[in-house]
């Protein structure tokens, strides 16, 4: 039986009775025919080439518009033994740290990534030279952003802090559109790290020195009070040295023992306090910069050739996938659901005439 069906201005012949019944096809017959698939791609080669070319052109134009990026790098040596860097000290607060290993610099990456350092870097105004012109720029102006949370997130995105597990060396990098701007920001990072390390960082030795300082102050006050009490008693009992009153001597000896005990305690605390201050000085790890922030002369991004290549490959696979799906739906449309398909095709043609015309030409 042969029949004709008119749709979208074209005649389609019904060969559905002559088609094989795929519902009863054997596994071998259901396998993908690579030769037929290759022929399908060749048939639609114009559309595939046009699609891939369009994607590559768009990506290339976007990449050409994007500015070059320059990365300044620096590296910091560990201040303690590498074997001790594996254990992170207890963190009591974000502004101040207490370390189990007082000489360890394991917390340096944490400090560099902290809100405290980020805000200090963001609040700075930077001056640098670009194309022989002196520029003054803040990070808020560079990112064109005023929201503090978004500013910190943007700064974190251009900053990289990594630690080598074997050597303990800390690598820090900053990437911006301007080479000297990247270096200035990285210099500010290292300066804020040094400031935090010297003035805001807390270690066990510093805690001990502070505690002994408070105890020494209290003991000095108690010693002076005991000495004043003894002096007042002696003034009241001026003949205490020749007195035979046992009560006077009992009180006098008790006051003298109190003064002597507090004197010994005071001198002992003085010695311990001096030792603790020396330990606190040794306990602060020095920020030893191995490589100071570099001035990049070669761009670090964007990698235009790599991005164009990846986008081309992905768009090619996407085009292959679309062709397979499109042809599969087209074949199914010639079966029981042909009328629904042709109605859908008519709607698509009227809605997207250019795309439909391009696909139709690609198959010719």
Per-residue pLDDT at 287 exceeds 70: yes
Mean pLDDT of 240-246: 77
Per-residue pLDDT at 76 exceeds 70: yes
The pLDDT assigned to 339 comes to: 59
CB 69 within 8 A of CB 177: yes
Per-residue pLDDT at 160 exceeds 60: yes
SS3 call for 258: helix
Per-residue pLDDT at 171 exceeds 90: yes
The pLDDT assigned to 44 comes to: 81
Give 293 or 207, the one with higher predicted confidence: 293
The pLDDT assigned to 244 comes to: 76
Per-residue pLDDT at 30 exceeds 60: no
The pLDDT assigned to 275 comes to: 85
Question: CA-CA distance, 179 to 328, in Å (whole number)?
Answer: 53
pLDDT bucket at 84, cuts 50 / 70 / 90: very low
SS3 call for 305: helix
- Residue 5 token pair: 């069906």
- Residue 210 token pair: 């502070």
Q: Which of 17-21, 289-293, 331-335 has the highest mean pLDDT?
A: 289-293
- The answer to whether the peptide bond before residue 196 is cis (omega within 30 degrees of 0) is no
- Residue 275 token pair: 């030792």
Per-residue pLDDT at 54 exceeds 50: yes
- Mean of pLDDT over the chain: 77
The pLDDT assigned to 4 comes to: 41
Q: At what angle do helices 45-65 and 304-333 cross, to 10 degrees?
A: 150
CB 240 within 8 A of CB 211: no
Give 36 or 245, the one with higher predicted confidence: 245
Per-residue pLDDT at 191 exceeds 90: yes
- Which H/E stretch holds residue 244? none
The pLDDT assigned to 245 comes to: 80
Mean pLDDT of 81-90: 41
pLDDT bucket at 332, cuts 50 / 70 / 90: low
Mean pLDDT of 229-238: 85
Give 233 or 158, the one with higher predicted confidence: 158
pLDDT bucket at 236, cuts 50 / 70 / 90: confident
CA atoms within 13 A on the CB side of 107: 30
Give 91 or 303, the one with higher predicted confidence: 303
pLDDT bucket at 360, cuts 50 / 70 / 90: low
Candidate from 170-174, 181-185, 307-311, 320-324 with smallest mean pLDDT: 320-324
The pLDDT assigned to 85 comes to: 38
The pLDDT assigned to 180 comes to: 95
The structure's pTM equals 0.55
DSSP secondary structure of 109-150: HHHHTSHHHHHHHHT-EEEEEETTEEEEEEHHHHHT---HHH
The pLDDT assigned to 348 comes to: 61
Question: CA-CA distance, 109 to 100, in Å (whole number)?
Answer: 17
CA atoms within 13 A on the CB side of 126: 26
Per-residue pLDDT at 355 exceeds 90: no
Mean pLDDT of 303-313: 88
Question: CA-CA distance, 333 to 356, in Å (whole number)?
Answer: 16
DSSP secondary structure of 172-226: EEEEESSHHHHHHHHHHHHHHHHHIIIII---HHHHHHHHHHHHHHHHHHHHHHH
In the chain the beta strands, taken as DSSP E runs, fall at 4-7, 10-13, 70-77, 125-130, 133-138, 159-163, 170-176, 288-291
pLDDT bucket at 42, cuts 50 / 70 / 90: confident
Mean pLDDT of 211-215: 88
């Amino acid at each position: 039986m042969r029949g004709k069906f008119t749709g979208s201005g074209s005649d389609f012949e019904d060969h559905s009775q002559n088609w094989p019944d795929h519902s009863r096809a054997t596994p071998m017959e259901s396998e993908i025919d690579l030769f037929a698939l290759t022929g399908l791609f060749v048939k639609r080669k114009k559309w595939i080439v046009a699609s891939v070319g369009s994607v590559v052109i768009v990506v290339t134009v976007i990449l050409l518009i994007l500015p070059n990026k320059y990365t300044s790098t620096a590296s910091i040596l560990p201040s303690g033994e590498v074997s001790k860097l594996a254990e992170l000290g207890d963190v009591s607060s974000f502004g101040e740290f207490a370390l189990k290993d007082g000489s360890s610099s394991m917390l340096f990456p944490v400090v560099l990534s902290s809100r405290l350092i980020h805000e200090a870097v963001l609040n700075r105004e930077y001056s640098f030279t670009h194309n022989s012109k002196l520029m003054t720029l803040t990070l808020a102006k560079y990112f064109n952003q005023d929201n503090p949370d978004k500013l910190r997130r943007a700064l974190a995105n251009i900053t990289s802090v990594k630690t080598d597990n074997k050597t303990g060396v800390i690598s820090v990098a900053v990437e911006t559109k301007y080479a000297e701007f990247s270096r200035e920001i990285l210099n500010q990072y290292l300066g804020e790290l040094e400031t935090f390390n010297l003035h805001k960082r807390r270690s066990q030795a510093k805690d001990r020195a502070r505690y002994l300082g408070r105890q020494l102050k209290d003991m000095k006050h108690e010693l002076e009070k005991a000495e004043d009490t003894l002096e007042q008693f002696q003034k009241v009992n001026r003949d205490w040295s020749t007195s035979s009153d046992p009560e006077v001597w009992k009180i006098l000896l008790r006051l003298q023992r109190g003064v002597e005990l507090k004197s010994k305690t005071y001198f002992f605390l003085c010695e311990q306090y001096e030792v603790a201050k020396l330990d606190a000085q040794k306990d602060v790890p020095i920020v030893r910069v191995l490589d100071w922030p570099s001035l990049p002369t070669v761009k670090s991004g964007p990698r235009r050739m790599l991005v164009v290549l990846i986008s081309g490959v992905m768009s090619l696979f996407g085009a292959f996938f679309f062709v397979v799906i499109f042809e599969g739906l087209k074949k199914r449309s010639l079966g029981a659901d042909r009328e629904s398909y042709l109605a859908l095709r008519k709607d698509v043609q009227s809605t997207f005439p250019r795309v439909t015309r391009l696909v139709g030409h690609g198959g010719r």
